[in-house]
Structure 1
Amino acid sequence: MTAMDKIVYRPARNELAYTFGGRMPVAHLRSGDMLQVFTEDCFGGLVRGPADPPSQRCRMPYLNPVSGPFFVEDAEPGDTLAVHICAIVPARDWGVSTTFPHFGALTSTTHTATLQPPLEERVWVYRIDQRAGTVQFAATDSDHSIDLPLDPMIGTIGVAPGGFEARTSIVGDTHGGNLDTPQVRAGTTVYLGVNVHGAMLALGDAHARQGEGEACGTGVEIAATTTLIVDVIKGEPTSWPRLETDTSIMSVGCARPLEDAYRIAHHDLVGWTSRLTGLHVLDAYQLVSQIGRAPIGNVCDPNYTVLATADKALLPAAAAPYNGTHDRLRQLTAAQQEGSR
């Protein structure tokens, strides 16, 4: 791969999308192509400080914009689209987080209606120092501040759903979407089941960092430039989104209530572990029960997100997931980075 293979896309504001499905592609990609794409923050860049409360600056359904969709040639229903995240770079030296009425895990919501007043709306501005690798939290009613590690992630990534559906970009489901897990960071490969011709990949909603669960409903929301490589895995379906890193495999479940998201993720990981290792499904179930972890993506969106994750080193004689796609894409990334120096 050479630098000439890199495709760069920066959408105009009127080109941002708010759904997965239901839109024409903005560009075409092929397996092995590298894409560098600019994405806006979940507020579309409209919330910049305390004078910009989201309830006044933003309106539904124009929240959580994504860039795309990108048509991936040769991707057909029944295939899997592999998306390797090469780099996520904040596009500005600031990010924001908020509380606002009827949103978040610790307040009344439209799904959990109670009589007490909603939480106060408030905006926190985080200063980002890329050279130092820090994100500065500053309290709003005291002088307390602390530098947190910069750990960029993609909150929303997915493909078009099947059945001619268009799903809002704030929902996570089988097609991907608003997963909001910090595990979708540089070095991770995301596997998405293809539902329509061309897959129609889209992404956005980057965070400078986020705690597991995204308790208040927002991470440190940023605009970002993300570099990724796509690859089509022919004839191998993927029912729910999966992630792979150098050390772990992860299955994603999205649902309400939270225990159903947990069950979906673990059902998929047990089956995946059984196929990779040759273990009987009950042996795989027992093994996952003892080695697994279950980080929560979010408990605020229309569907909650839970991951089931296992360390590769603890899977006996496991085959390489998707025939070594993650390792191959990681090597392509390293070759591209070396060639651009």
Structure 2
Amino acid sequence: MGLVEFTPTREQLAYTFGGAAPVMTVQPGAVLKLWSEDAFNHALTSVDDISSEKVDLRFVNPQTGPFYVEGAEPGDTLAIHIADLTPARNWGASATIPFFGGLTSTDRTAFLQESLPDTTWIYHLDTERQTVGFQARFGDFEVALPLEPMLGTIGVAPPGGEVRSSLVPERFGGNMDSPEVKAGTTVYLGVNVEGALFSIGDGHYRQGEGEACGTAVEGAMTSTIIVELIKGGAPAWPRLETDGHWMVVGSSRPMEDSWRIGQVELIRWFGDLFGLHPMDAYQLLTQTALAPVANAVDANYSVVVKAAKSLFPAAQAFDGMHAELRNRAARL
């Protein structure tokens, strides 16, 4: 199947999951090369730009999509394999936004102190060395950090006709901000509406676990993905698979509920993979699982619960879909 390339116009960008008309219909098996705008909607381009003056919070986390997948029905599983992520600009931006982030008071965790300084950092890419450069704003420190592209948002339309902001992570995926959503990863999402209506965006050139200040190195991205449809078997929460791990992403508040969601869903996945009784899976998970925080700043917090494949007997999730998609990606 040929490569489908799509670069949205500004009028075609979506800012919600659900509620937007599809920009295109694609067939299962399609290979898509998609351009996406940065989370600030190209509002911060220099250190002199500050979010309170430049960023319109109605139009952040712009999404490329949604895409209607032919034949997708509620209860099916959409498999999206990320074949490649390439920065579409030679710079990325990060910022501290007033009353937003993990280490400041917010509209939900309210205190009397003033906001932290509204500050923008620009990271310049060195494509030869594959690094992004941090330059201190309140001193002379500089350091080159490895380029590690990822997608902050990937999701489908929610159930029940809901329309959710592209800032929100939930069962449908959305703004999970997990560094695990990178090239080589297959994302499994439960289909809630006819056509699935998936979209992607919020490219990050790199991000630490937790996304502490609320913004990564945000940048426009060119994403090459393979889209497949598995009839039935919809996971309750997003599942991720790499060559080395099985993972589940839970998103809620408080954060311990995100952790619990991921733990419960990985126990259920162990049952699918190995035929384990839930109590045996619970015990096995207790001794093997890792639980990195994906984000501690969004409308819901996201926690990834992951198990290393090397610790377990060989098993095929979704009838070996990840390995098949990896092979297809290698032939692109």
Q: Bin the TM-score by the shorter chain.
A: over 0.9
In structure 1, the residue matched to 2:137 is 140
Q: Distance in 2 between matches of 1:289 and 1:335?
A: 38
Partner of 1:79: 76
| Residue 329 (structure 1) aligns with | 325
Matching residue of 2:64: 67
Corresponding residue for residue 112 of structure 1: 109
Pick from 170, 184, 196 the counterpart of residue 181 of structure 2: 184
In the alignment, what sits opposite 1:339?
A: none
Contiguous gaps of at least 5 residues in structure 2:
none
Distance 2:207 2:57 in 1: 23
C-alpha distance in structure 2 between counterparts of 1:153 and 1:188, whole Å? 10
Task: Name the residue aligned to 2:252.
Answer: 255
Give the Å deviation of 1:318.
4.7
Q: Where does residue 319 of structure 1 map in the other structure? A: 315
Q: What are the residue-to-residue correspondences of 1:179-258 with 2, within 5 Å?
A: 179-258=176-255
> What SS does the aligned partner of 1:221 have?
coil
In 2, Cα distance between equivalents of 1:193 and 1:174: 8
TM-score, normalised relative to structure 1: 0.96
Q: Among the aligned pairs, what percent are the same residue?
A: 50
- Counterparts of 2:314 and 2:274 in 1: how far apart (Å)? 4
Secondary structure of the structure 1 residue equivalent to 2:143: strand
User: Structure 1 counterpart of 2:194, which letter?
Assistant: H
- Counterpart-to-counterpart distance in 1, 2:128 and 2:67: 32
Residue in structure 2 matched with residue 159 of structure 1 by the alignment: 156
Aligned-CA RMSD value:
0.9
Distance 1:36 1:28 in 2: 14
CA distance in 2, matches of 1:202, 1:131: 30
Amino acid at match of 2:80: V
Paired with 1:129 and 1:207, the residues of 2 have a C-alpha distance of 15
Counterpart code for 2:68: F
Determine the C-alpha separation between the residues in 1 that align with 2:108 and 2:252: 13
Q: Which residue of 1 aligns with 2:52?
A: 55
Query: TM-score, normalised on structure 2?
Result: 0.98
Provide the aligned length of Structure 1 versus Structure 2: 332
Shift of 1:275: 1.8
Alignment of 1:125 with 2:126, yes or no, is no
Q: Does the Cα contact within 8 Å between 1:276 and 1:318 map onto a contact in 2? A: no
User: How far off its partner does 1:59 sit?
Assistant: 1.8
Q: Give the residue type in structure 2 aligned to 1:295.
A: P
Match of 1:45 among 42, 47, 57: 42
